Amino acid sequence: MDEQLNLIDTHCHVHFDNYDNDIETVLADSAVAGVNRLICVGCSLKDSQRAADFAKNRAGVWATAGAHPHDGADYLSDPMSADKLKKLLANPKVVAIGEIGLDYYRDITPKLDQEKTLRSQIEIGLDTSLPFVFHVREAWDDFWRIFDSYKGIHGVIHSYSAPPNRLTEVLGRGLYASLNGLMTYTKDESWLEAAKKVPADKLILETDAPFLTPVPFRGRRCEPKHLVETCKFLADLRNEEPAVLASLSTTNAVRLFGLSEESLA
């Protein structure tokens, strides 16, 4: 029998309605697989409230709060957004600000609005001691220009998927890199090259469920339990034992997000 891993899914969306019919099973399966703690990431302020409510009475589940770049128009049009975000960040179950960032790939929100949305949330977040969860897609140069105009930001680049030169930029700013199932099926060798190079004290793991289902479960809805496959794939890629990778990523996640020992039932 495989040895049991102890993992934290640092970025999932199991509070989405994709799981409304079987969430208790999803959580139980996660615990059985050794994925004992979950962070439910909010994508809009409304969704963040939902994530916080979902986490409220569940041991081993936490939430983040923030507006994704795709939600920039809504964030900017609501005069209450800043107050709503501040209130969410004061919730004891909310352990990070995010996911926030820039996404020029889908380009759903105009670039300038993405920047305004990001800056507003960075400024609010910096008044707390919470870490940031960043989403950056095809927007690195603008992202660093904005990031570097502030001091004291700590956090993670979620779904890290870029060549090694970007990793150098991430690490140079003290950020963590979070890897997910995308690595198990990407055709981009440079991303895998970077995944090999993430230092042991800066690597964390996530699923981004319901998205980015790892091999061999492509075509199905992603769940936190699938983190085990991603961990095994990356351990093999990095020439490490899965238990070692699990352990270091868990230690890093606990350090970054300040999670307690409590875990899924």
Is the distance from CB of 11 to CB of 35 less than 8 angstroms? no
- For Zn ion, which stretch binds (CB under 5 A), given 101-109, 191-199, 203-211, 257-265? 203-211
- What distance in Å separates the CA atoms of residue 150 and residue 162, rounded to the nearest whole number? 23
Q: Comparing C-alpha atoms, which of 209, 161, 136, 164 is closest to residue 153?
A: 136
- What distance in Å separates the CA atoms of residue 144 and residue 180, rounded to the nearest whole number? 22
- For Zn ion, which stretch binds (CB under 5 A), given 20-28, 137-145, 163-171, 202-210? 202-210
- For Zn ion, which stretch binds (CB under 5 A), given 29-37, 71-79, 201-209, 252-260? 201-209
Number of residues that bind Zn ion (CB under 5 A): 1
Closest distance of CB 241 from Zn ion, Å? 28
Kindly tell me which of 103 and 208 has the beta carbon lying closer to Zn ion: 208
Kindly tell me which of 208 and 229 has the beta carbon lying closer to Zn ion: 208
Q: Which of 9, 47, 115, 208 binds Zn ion (CB under 5 A)?
A: 208
- For Zn ion, which stretch binds (CB under 5 A), given 90-98, 172-180, 208-216, 256-264? 208-216
Closest distance of CB 239 from Zn ion, Å? 28
Kindly tell me which of 27 and 156 has the beta carbon lying closer to Zn ion: 156
Closest distance of CB 114 from Zn ion, Å? 16
Helix (H) or strand (E) holding 179: strand 176-179
> Per the structure block, which two tokens stand in for 148?
């570097």
Kindly tell me which of 197 and 211 has the beta carbon lying closer to Zn ion: 211
- What distance in Å separates the CA atoms of residue 183 and residue 188, rounded to the nearest whole number? 9
Closest distance of CB 74 from Zn ion, Å? 17
Could you say whether residue 71 binds Zn ion (CB under 5 A)?
no
The alpha carbon dihedral of 140, 145, 149, 151 has a sign of positive
Closest distance of CB 71 from Zn ion, Å? 12
Kindly tell me which of 68 and 225 has the beta carbon lying closer to Zn ion: 68
> Per the structure block, which two tokens stand in for 170?
């991430």
Is the distance from CB of 110 to CB of 149 less than 8 angstroms? no
Query: What are the backbone angles phi and psi of residue 203, rounded to the nearest 5°?
Result: -100, 130
Which residue type is seen at 102? L
- What distance in Å separates the CA atoms of residue 223 and residue 208, rounded to the nearest whole number? 8
Return the residue nearest Zn ion (CB atom): 208
The site for Zn ion (CB under 5 A) is made up of 208
